[in-house]
Amino acid sequence: MITASIITIGDELLIGQVIDTNSAWMAQQLNKIGVWVQHRAAVGDVWDDIWNALDEEAKRSNIILITGGLGPTADDITKPLLCQYFGGKMVMDAATLEHVTYLFEHVFKRPMPLLDRNRKQAEVPDVCTVLKNERGTAPGMLFEKNGKIFISLPGVPHEMKGLMTDHVLPLLKQRFNMPHIGHRTLLTAGVGESFLAELIKDFEETLPANIKLAYLPNYGMVRLRLTANGNDKDTVENELEHQFAQLKKQVSEFLVVDEDISMSELVGRLLKNQQKTVSTAESCTGGYIAHLLTSISGSSAYFMGSVVSYDNSIKKNVLGVEEKILETVGAVSEETVIEMLAGILQVMKTDYAIAVSGIMGPDGGTEDKPVGTVWIAVGNKEYTETKKIQFRFDRQRNIELTAINALNLLRLFILKNSIG
């Protein structure tokens, strides 16, 4: 198996100021072409730490990918370090300088002349192969040492992705004879990870050695992923499909979908297939459910709009919630979300709708309605279903869980009430 390590560089990653999304995306792309990422490391802008990370990852993997530290400022030390590590000297790359000049003069249209620190972006170690960065000024650089490939890429995600797509992935496919890696993923709901593990224990124990099962719990649901590898693609895929069919039978009672897609994408697909529309009335989630629905390309075919009725005056004046209900049972109640649902259906004229109201925390809870109390309503003009949930997490987690549970409740409602 061809293996890779990913090293991400930057103090901002270690202190959590910037979330490392680069290595996750890179690992996904490498896995698709048959490269197994067996280690990921994050290091700060410290010369010795970066040097040691290169040494350690070279012991582990065939391919070492590095992101970050290629900018024009003093803390960007990756390029001079790599020059010394591979025993080269810095030279001006004419093609890169031409590209940098073009960007500043014609794309960025900077009125001032090109600074020396900008020109230095075109300096590279003379022992590397330069990979043109069409999306920015810092080029990618490929080195080879002791049969291992090292590739340094910018830390800016948009630029890194361009270099990976245009240069790195095609180069690796040419250089290595890759095994085939296949995945099958399904989503379950209404069952915990430990119960699932017990349910499919015998199945898991009899899996072939080249097929692994992973449990991926999130948002109160659990994804199950089968991963297989081997030299012959057809053999791997046939065996994987057979085992996946067995897994689906084992968890059929809790199966939501046998694809690796999001809940919002699944709901959108149901609506699109039925040519139906949806709207949302959101209090505690502040529009997050609408955000999830509209994050899917093509959602304009089924999502009409949302009313973020955060204040009770909006619940009353826009959605028609009776003032008496708000005064007696309060905004976080079954009665309120039922009224919110009826109101949003009337305002948006949609086939289906979601309404949510709750206390996300950390403040606002009472003895009767502690933090994490949520009421959800879904329905159409004929029928309404409600559900009360009690979450126990922080504010952001409670919002995310409310949204996913609301979408899942709508999914079940659509399936139960769809005609034909």
pLDDT at residue 359 is higher than 80: yes
Q: Is the dihedral of CA 170, 175, 180, 182 positive or negative?
A: negative
124 and 187 co-located in one domain = no
Boundary of a domain, candidates 217, 241, 257: 257
Long-range interactions of 394-398: CB distance < 8 A, separation 24+: 394/361, 394/362, 395/360, 395/361, 395/362, 398/284, 398/358, 398/360, 398/361, 398/371, 398/372, 398/374
Structure token digits, residue 138? 């810092």
Residue numbers of the domain that contains 112? 2-175
Beta partners for residue 7, in sequence order: 41, 66
* pLDDT, mean of residues 359-368: 94
- Cβ atoms of residues 77 and 68 within 8 Å: no
Boundary of a domain, candidates 209, 240, 257: 257
69 and 154 co-located in one domain = yes
Residue 192's domain is classified under what CATH number? 3.30.70.2860
122 and 62 co-located in one domain = yes
Tell me the pLDDT tens digit for each residue of 366-392: 999 999 999 999 999 999 999 999 999
DSSP three-state, residue 216: strand
pLDDT at residue 404 is higher than 50: yes
List of residues 6+ apart from 56 with CB closer than 8 A: 41
242 and 270 co-located in one domain = no
Angle, vertex CA 350, rays to CA 344 and CA 354, nearest 5 = 50
pLDDT at residue 297 is higher than 50: yes
382 and 317 co-located in one domain = yes
* pLDDT, mean of residues 94-111: 90
| Residues above pLDDT 70, as percent of the chain | 100
Backbone φ and ψ for 147, nearest 5 degrees, come out as: 80, 0
Q: How many domains, the chain?
A: 3
217-231 burial: b if 16+ Cβ within 10 Å, else e: eebebbbbbbbbbbe
52 and 75 co-located in one domain = yes
Ranges 5-9, 110-114, 275-279: which has the least confidence: 110-114
pLDDT at residue 39 is higher than 60: yes
DSSP three-state, residue 254: helix
Radius of gyration of the chain (CA): 27
pLDDT at residue 407 is higher than 80: yes
287 and 394 co-located in one domain = yes
DSSP three-state, residue 228: strand
280 and 251 co-located in one domain = no
Boundary of a domain, candidates 123, 145, 175: 175
How much is the pLDDT for 419?
57
> 279 exposed, middle or buried (CB, 10 Å; 0-12, 13-18, 19+)?
buried
pTM over 0.85: no
pLDDT at residue 81 is higher than 50: yes
* pLDDT, mean of residues 23-46: 95
Q: What is the mean pLDDT of the chain?
A: 95
Residue 123's domain is classified under what CATH number? 3.40.980.10
Q: Which residue has the higher pLDDT, 1 or 205?
A: 205
* pLDDT, mean of residues 178-192: 92
252 pLDDT tier (thresholds 50, 70, 90) = very high
Tell me the pLDDT tens digit for each residue of 113-157: 888 888 999 999 999 999 999 999 999 999 999 999 999 999 999
Q: How far is CA 411 from the centre of its chain?
A: 21
143 and 199 co-located in one domain = no
How much is the pLDDT for 213?
97
Q: Measured between alpha carbons, how far is 113 from 239 in angstroms, rounded to an integer?
A: 61
Q: Measured between alpha carbons, how far is 262 from 258 in angstroms, rounded to an integer?
A: 11
420 pLDDT tier (thresholds 50, 70, 90) = very low
Ranges 218-227, 380-389, 398-407: which has the least confidence: 218-227
pLDDT at residue 260 is higher than 60: yes
228 and 317 co-located in one domain = no
395 and 410 co-located in one domain = yes
